Structure 1
Amino acid sequence: MSNIDFDLVQNLYKQFSNSAPAKESKAEDVITPMPFHMANEDMRREMWTETGNLLLQQGAVAAFTLAGGQGSRLGFDGPKGAYDFGLPSKATLFRMQARRLMNLGAKAGKPVPWAIMTSPLNHAETIHHFEDHSFFGYNRDYIRFFDQGMLCALKPDGTPLQDENGNYVEAPDGNGGCFRALAMSGTLAWFVEKGVRFVFLCNVDNALVKMCDPTFIGALASNGLLPCAAKVVHKKNAQEKVGIFAYKNKKPTVLEYSDISDELRNKTLEDGSLEFDGGNTGMYAFRMDALRKISTQELPWHVARKTVNGVENCWKFEQFLLDAFPFLGKILPYGVEREDEFAPVKNATGSDSPESARKMLGTLHRYWLEQAKVNVKPGKLYEISPRLTYGGENLSQEVFDRELGRGIFEFDA
């Protein structure tokens, strides 16, 4: 227990217990929209793709997956990345990310370095999952696992929380701790050794994530003034509970649904579209110098009062990844179609569930086949292995006939 930073948690307790709850947005804050363009409509798209592919060929692009969570909300007892959400192939979220990266690596002629941040809650299980599946064929010299940081939870009176055996109860320090953990684990230095210049960062639970998307990486690389980029989607409607990218006091920020006023949330442009749009997808790209800068920066701490280990109203301290954007000062908002890239697996039923993710993936893959002039069955959805295609390329009737039941599967909508 010597690695527990009691001074930090006690200082945080004093800071938050002696001050009124802070509001994310204050009356004097100047909030303005962050306009964005859809990437598939940009004339520079082909140039971006070429640039991204060249960087992959140089080994200059790496992937960073945040995978510290458990699948408890899904009724799954294990790491969320090891969850089989019901596709015909039985692919887990980890396997899908691995195979997409392997597809890119095969085209580039060089494996993509891949860092996976776990937590002490699921670290061993995550590694076992990869070992049990022979790392899905991934080059083991190009994959690293490391834990995110933990902080001791405090009881309501500010004293360290202990379990029935007298052990201190720790909780993850938030997704904003990923930058510090990347550096402290030696993985940031590993990226440097590999020659990495750009890092694609994502959550593990997006079934449609385009790992290290060459066009996205190329868009950031083509603008030397910007340290990072974020994929955004149009909101379904004004009431969708999703964080949106905007400017607060001229700095990029993500406004959570609960932190934006009804007036701003419902504000529209002349064409009727939302003025405050740009839903956060959890897919980002960073230049290496930006990651170095963030890893040495103390991002703001946030507090939550939660039940921990059966004790109500405990103090739990976290840092948020989104606080990196105002610190860096500039960002490229990169618009993508939700149906192409954003199918979170978060809830057991309803929206953002295994069922909705399966349907979105199956519908997208059916569209790819239709675009390739493949004869598909009415009413059927399809799953296509990432070993056959990354984004719908290289498909044909011949490929379909050869791979049906092996790398291509059909299932009911």
Structure 2
Amino acid sequence: MTSDHPAVEKLEKAGAHPMEVAAFRRRLAQLSDPDAGKVPGDELSPVAPLPRLVDLPEPDAEATRAVLDRLAVVKLNGGLGTSMGLDGPKSTLEIKPGQSFLDVIARQTLALRASTGARLPLLLMDSPTTRPPSLERLAAHEGLADQGLPLDFLQGIEPKLDAGSWEPVEWPDNPELEWCPPGHGDIYTALAASGIAAALLEAGVRWCFVSNADNLGARPDPRIAAWLAEQEIPFLLEVVRGTESDRKGGHLAMRDGKLVLRESAQVPDGDPSFGDLTRWHYFNTNNIWFDLQAITALQEADPAAPELPLIVNRKTVDPTDKGSTTVVQLETAMGAAVSSIDGAGALEVPRTRFAPVKTTDDLLVARSDLWELREDGSMVPHFDEQPPVVSLDKAHFGMLRDFEARFPAGAPSLIDAERLEVRGDVTFTGPTTVRGSVVVEGPAEVSGTLE
């Protein structure tokens, strides 16, 4: 596909930055490959044991301040909680009484600034929809915006393509649905196109720590920051040891002597290798660290850099109408830069740094006594590696409104639980403690001790 593809013209007419256009052109060119984005398991080999966070030394106070003073914290905040029935940013969802993800992030940032004396700017990568409510939430935290930089920047957009013709789809009923974000791999382009990357470098910031806004465990760790600076590692992906729960997540592997991140959408049809935990030991947390100077140098040589594998996502143009036109969205994953940046590496971290809230099952764990929110905003886990397994009946607990109606007394105590499975319509009418492995069958109303 050439640069005069109608989708490129549509993007240019919308006022996209030249770097955004260059990145989109690359994705279009990748789409021309009949096996676009596919990574067969027989081309990969397992990863040798990686360095571990637990083995990194703790920097002293002076070194901590110095390294955090040159670090920016970036949170991916473009997601809406539609899968849980929300119509706003998931990051504004309450995870502890009166405290949303964004409140916790703000408290963590302010506490680290106060304890270390570092600037530690905080930035959200927002969408136009998440921006207003998110900034309003952050405005409640005095001093947070005193960083000489904006608190956010916008992710890019691209035209959705008709799955049959690969032409830009038209949807007159709602033209906004003709557009989509290009995946979180867009962060490198969005930082540059927005001018934020240049502003950070001008302010003396060299490193970025990026994570999902809904990951309770993702805090900037001075040990990692100091190690990156000392070893001059341009890009780092945090990974965890794989478990059964990771079978749908991206795993790390080796290909042609380089690390590669393979997402489930990149597995060819009929390839059974993806869920093989005996081969793939490390799984992606979506916590990454990178050197802004190194990324900027790559982009000066190639405006579409870093080169990322294509992920072809098939959907309908109207997500609420399964009968609407089938489209393809051309996406990339930010962690995939591990294979395209010379000197990139990976670090094994405890699972407590990987605690995303994707479902109401996860939300119940977050709201329970398994996680303690402390004054400095730190979310302290009261479990070792893995929290208890929670499985709630999706028909009755999948949407937030239904979920909250069935826990009028708040989340049960899960600190002594191994597993909680709820089948059917169950209401936890009063304070409840779960011990061991428990299955609750509905319809029922329960409280007290379940064991």
TM-score, structure 1 as length reference = 0.75
- What SS class does the counterpart of residue 32 from structure 1 fall into? coil
Pick from 180, 198, 214 the counterpart of residue 205 of structure 1: 214
CA contact under 8 A between 2:159 and 2:169: conserved in structure 1? yes
Q: Partner of 1:328: helix, strand, or coil?
A: coil
Q: Pick the aligned partner of 1:251 from 239, 253, 258.
A: 258
Measure the CA separation in 2 of the matches of 1:121 and 1:357.
25
CA 1:240–1:358: 2 relative to 1, 3 Å: farther
Distance 1:293 1:326, change over 3 A: farther
Aligned partner of 2:121 among 113, 119, 134: 113
1:138 to 126, 140, 144: 144
* Residue deviations 1:9-68 (CA, integer Å, cap 9, x gap): 99689757754243522477342314224322x1x4224887444312xx2111111111
Percent pairwise identity: 22
Alpha carbons of 1:106 and 1:249: their partners in 2 closer, same or farther (altered >3 Å)?
same
Counterpart in the other structure of 2:130 = 122
Q: Name the CA shift for 1:136/1:24 in 2 (closer, same or farther; >3 Å).
A: farther
Q: Which amino acid aligns with 2:281?
A: D
- Structure 1 position 123, deviation (Å): 2.1
Asked whether the 8 Å contact 2:365–2:371 carries over to 1, the reply is no
Q: Which amino acid aligns with 1:145?
A: D
Task: Give the aligned partner of residue 302 of structure 1.
Answer: 311
| Contact map agreement 1:231 1:281 (CA 8 A) in 2 | yes
Deviations 1:249-306 (A, max 9, x none): 1112112357396568546xxxxxx452122111111112223145431634433221
Alignment counterpart, residue 247 of structure 2, candidates 215, 220, 240: 240
Following superposition of structure 1 onto structure 2, how do residues 278-357 of structure 1 map, counting pairs within 5 Å? 278-293=282-297, 295=299, 296=303, 297=305, 299-300=307-308, 301-309=310-318, 310=321, 311-338=324-351, 340-348=352-360, 350=361, 353-357=362-366
Equivalent of 2:107 in 99, 104, 121: 99
Does the 8 Å contact 1:102/1:111 carry over to 2?
A: no
1:52-91 equivalent positions in 2, closer than 5 A: 52-56=64-68, 59-85=69-95, 87=96, 89-91=97-99
What's the CA shift for 1:384? Answer: 1.7
Post-superposition CA distance 1:309-335 (Å, at most 9, x none): 242311322232133111103333222
Give me the whole-angstrom Cα distance separating, in 2, the residues matched to 1:196 and 1:52.
14
Maintained 8 Å contact 1:199/1:287:
yes
Instruction: Give the Cα separation in 2 of the matches to 1:363 and 1:147.
Output: 34
Contact preservation (8 Å) 1:16, 1:303: no
Cα separation, 2, equivalents of 1:235 and 1:49: 34
Alpha carbons 2:73, 2:122 under 8 Å: kept = yes
Distance 1:13 1:47, change over 3 A: closer
Q: What is the CA distance between 1:105 and its match in structure 2?
A: 0.6
Deviations 1:146-180 (A, max 9, x none): 11110122334324323326667211121111111
- Aligned partners of 1:342 and 1:140: how far apart in 2? 29
Q: Which amino acid aligns with 2:224?
A: F
The one-letter amino acid of 1:186's match is G
CA separation of 1:280 and 1:144: change in aligned 2, threshold 3 A: same
Deviation string, structure 1 residues 350-373 (Cα, Å, up to 9, x no partner): 3xx2012334xx4354xxxxxxxx
Which secondary structure does the structure 2 equivalent of 1:345 belong to?
coil
RMSD over aligned Cα, in angstroms? 3.3
Q: Name which structure has the greater RCO, CA cutoff 8 Å, separation 6+.
A: 1
User: Any conservation in 2 of the 1:231–1:333 contact (CA below 8 Å)?
Assistant: yes
Aligned mates of 2:22, 2:85 — CA distance in 1: 34
In the other structure, the counterpart of 1:3 is 14
Q: How many residues align?
A: 357
Shift of 1:200: 0.8
Structure 1: segments with no counterpart, 5+ residues: 268-273, 366-382, 393-409
Kindly state the Cα deviation for residue 341 of structure 1 after the two structures are TM-superposed. 1.9
Query: 2:173 aligned with 1:164, yes or no?
Result: yes
| Residues 31 and 246 in structure 1, CA contact (< 8 A), matched pair in contact too | yes
Amino acid at match of 2:76: L
Identify the range of structure 1 (327-336 vs 76-85) with the bigger mean alpha-carbon deviation. Answer: 327-336
Secondary structure at 1:222 match in 2? helix
Given that residues 208 and 342 in structure 1 are in contact (C-alpha distance below 8 angstroms), is that contact kept between their aligned partners in structure 2?
yes
Match of 2:402 in 1: none
TM superposition shift of 1:103: 1.3
